[in-house]
Structure 1
């Protein structure tokens, strides 16, 4: 308790002040949920969530006297927010909600006691409170013991808790990923039995929980809980579909296990949170999504070859489409979806480089096709090597190191990140005597291909190559 209070020292003055103000008006006030849990875990929390016996109309004037600004965060739900300086608080009336089981929106009812409020919370570790200003600790559901054991239990029965709000099952997986907890057997049983009820939750809410899970310290554990409980079959079915598929290293692992290892290895390759963009500062959602989705095209492309082999031709192309489709269904933004799908599409491009047959042209195309995703593609490609064959692993690592050296050399010599044809659109139009339109677009692409294949030629040589190409086009004869 002393350690938890010490963790709260930076905000203790604020909590005491607010507690005294509410007490002076005859109301109870308590810090509740995540901030209390994090204080016992020695973690810094940016949230100051408080609960009170006061109703919203009583909360607002107290906060107006205390803060520089107040706002209505949902009066019908009992929540008023306030700010004083850099400190933001949210104060909510005790709740005693009821649910109809068909939506996750509660019929809001205000409660009369802290204990009544705590029993409706998602997990016992989040159902602890610290009364202010006297700092009395309230833990009716054994949340502190659960913290000690790193276990997730629900204050009420898990069937009731998840029936009230199915999103809590996703939160369980998120807490496993973020905090290293494990679900109690009855919690896992209820998640498995009730997995289908996640369908009433909006895709946006599911996406947010999945993103938080992936950005946690232990995302593999969270994903494995989603798969084991059957939730992944509803929200990310491409992942459990990998379990029975054998990948190109089928001697010792399946695609599901391989994808989990790739995720862990990609995380190990992330840069520090404050590192430069080229280091891919972690946690990086795009890289982690690409890692778990990079092989989702394999089930649809698996072919059994003569002699007992297995092939997955073009699984990267199929996988890119499947990844984009799933991310759109989960309402990921367009840019994130585009980046993840592109990484899935490009993740096999490196293979074959080890044969030593890549020209500078191939390296240029690798760089330009990746664009600003190149640092992530480097890490995804390296992480995709999960072979236990030490000699093969060393060979692949050496080949990729050689590729990176060549990329750095070409970047320095030719500024590949900004590669363009040596004639711009106006110059192409003037040389060919054409107007802007599809033909100009084709001419531009041709000169870009020449630039990628042969490197810098100079404007005169580029113009000659353009005119030679133009002489072979039907439009030149029509003009």
Structure 2
């Protein structure tokens, strides 16, 4: 990236925001306060990215900020007031204005101790990385870059404005943020930053699970999540944040095709990112498909990352010296659920990721043994609202170097998807139900609500799965036949 071109892009972006920047800056200046656009907003402007949210910093204290924006902001909130941050909305723009500050952590505390500062330079040196330590003073639009952020942005390097040790001591979460930027921007981490992350990796333990979760989510949905994950594992942070995945480094896969299961999993993640857009939709709310999702998608990416974490627990050697990992899909699903619970992910997201991990082997054997329509129905029914994601994960899990084998597996899955589509058009597979519901079962058999009704319902569902739609008369005949067998 050319620095001069980036600077020109930034000025153009600022011109487009003049209707927000100029009035706000004038209100602060009229009361004798400084104001600067800062951090990610400046970085995004230099990169030519959209800027839906704007971040400002000022020497005004929180109560003074509230007084300045009164009558100008369309709405405001002060939930972050004790940390020096006031949020507001102006038109369609979300804005945060923060008093110059420094955040530091006590050795054993998860909560930051906030001290307000008095100068922009002091504020910038305390920020996480040089690419976020740039500012634009307003209203004059003076670019401020005391730590070479633009140079690092042009070079694609993640570096701290002060020493990395001081930066990570102030807030250890910055180590994860460095991995996140590596993923989002596909930037390299400076050697001294990597070394400090390695030496201080244990410091991540004092950060709350919620903050770690948020950074991990952003990392996984970045441009190149593999880069961020590799950085976490290489520096030892992964041993604290994702220990089940980090443990894969020493596991050989059963086909001896890869250096280890760790490398295989990263390849699956790469391939998942590549396939994601082919199955994603622009707006799932407008789709009839319950498995629709938009890109980038955390669920399928995290499932790809974690799909083999059950292998260390299930590793066995056979008589011929080969390695097996029987039932690693089931074990892996449980380990994934446990890790996501520890990271405070919501139940729905956790359930979906774990289901994909559990089902990621279900397809294998399709082309060899051949599947009946019943088996296809079960595949779709078991996948439920994760069918599209399961398509991605299953295809991405093929990392063999044997070209003929890879092509055969791809053809087999193409055939399975065609059969799913054909059956879905005929039978509405996404909502398979017995042809007779509970009320009809009770009427036909003349029985009241009871466990027997549930047993009859399950029997009719089995018929639906095995034989498809048999028609109302045949369904009733089979129900009566089953009932007679119950005595």
1:96–1:108: 8 Å Cα contact kept in structure 2? Answer: yes
SS of the aligned residue for 2:390 comes to helix
Q: TM-score, normalising length from structure 2?
A: 0.93
Determine whether 1:381 maps to 2:377: no
Distance (Å, rounded) in 2 between the aligned partners of 1:229 and 1:436: 61
Aligned counterpart in structure 1 of residue 406 of structure 2, from 393, 417, 421: 393
1:177–1:221: 8 Å Cα contact kept in structure 2? Answer: yes
Deviation track 1:409-440 (CA, whole Å, cap 9, x = no partner) reads 11111121121111101122333444434332
Correspondence 1:65-144 to 2 at 5 A: 65-144=71-150
Structure 1 residues 274 and 363: alpha-carbon distance in aligned structure 2, compared to 1, 3 A threshold: closer
Aligned to 1:349: 362
Quote the RMSD (CA, aligned, Å). 1.7
Correspondence 1:30-429 to 2 at 5 A: 30-271=36-277, 275=282, 277=284, 280-429=293-442
2:220–2:298: 8 Å Cα contact kept in structure 1? Answer: yes
Aligned to 2:26: 20
1:101–1:164: 8 Å Cα contact kept in structure 2? Answer: no
Aligned to 1:452: 465
1:191–1:229: 8 Å Cα contact kept in structure 2? Answer: yes
Distance (Å, rounded) in 1 between the aligned partners of 2:310 and 2:341: 17
Structure 1 residues 425 and 15: alpha-carbon distance in aligned structure 2, compared to 1, 3 A threshold: same
1:320–1:342: 8 Å Cα contact kept in structure 2? Answer: yes
1:171–1:209: 8 Å Cα contact kept in structure 2? Answer: yes
In structure 1, stretches of 5+ residues that fail to align are none
Distance (Å, rounded) in 2 between the aligned partners of 1:249 and 1:101: 46
Deviation track 1:369-412 (CA, whole Å, cap 9, x = no partner) reads 11121111111111111111011011111111111111111111
Structure 1 residues 253 and 472: alpha-carbon distance in aligned structure 2, compared to 1, 3 A threshold: farther
Deviation track 1:75-100 (CA, whole Å, cap 9, x = no partner) reads 22222222232233221111144432
Distance (Å, rounded) in 1 between the aligned partners of 2:66 and 2:136: 21
Aligned to 1:29: 35
Aligned length: 474
Q: TM-score, normalising length from structure 1?
A: 0.95
2:58–2:98: 8 Å Cα contact kept in structure 1? Answer: yes
Deviation track 1:289-335 (CA, whole Å, cap 9, x = no partner) reads 11111111111111111212211111111111111111111111111
Instruction: Flag as ranges the 4+ runs of structure 1 deviating above 4 A.
Output: 276-280
Distance (Å, rounded) in 2 between the aligned partners of 1:76 and 1:221: 35
Deviation track 1:324-357 (CA, whole Å, cap 9, x = no partner) reads 1111111111111111111111111111111142
Distance (Å, rounded) in 2 between the aligned partners of 1:420 and 1:89: 50
Structure 1 residues 252 and 93: alpha-carbon distance in aligned structure 2, compared to 1, 3 A threshold: closer
2:110–2:208: 8 Å Cα contact kept in structure 1? Answer: no
Distance (Å, rounded) in 1 between the aligned partners of 2:405 and 2:23: 64
Distance (Å, rounded) in 2 between the aligned partners of 1:149 and 1:375: 38
* Worse-superposed segment, 400-409 or 265-274: 265-274
Structure 1 residues 280 and 59: alpha-carbon distance in aligned structure 2, compared to 1, 3 A threshold: closer
Structure 1 residues 70 and 252: alpha-carbon distance in aligned structure 2, compared to 1, 3 A threshold: closer
The structural deviation recorded for 1:8 is 2.7
SS of the aligned residue for 1:131 comes to strand
In structure 2, stretches of 5+ residues that fail to align are 1-6
1:104–1:166: 8 Å Cα contact kept in structure 2? Answer: no
Distance (Å, rounded) in 1 between the aligned partners of 2:257 and 2:93: 57
The structural deviation recorded for 1:115 is 0.7
2:257–2:400: 8 Å Cα contact kept in structure 1? Answer: no
Distance (Å, rounded) in 2 between the aligned partners of 1:392 and 1:30: 58
Structure 1 residues 437 and 205: alpha-carbon distance in aligned structure 2, compared to 1, 3 A threshold: farther
Determine whether 1:7 maps to 2:21: no
SS of the aligned residue for 1:134 comes to coil
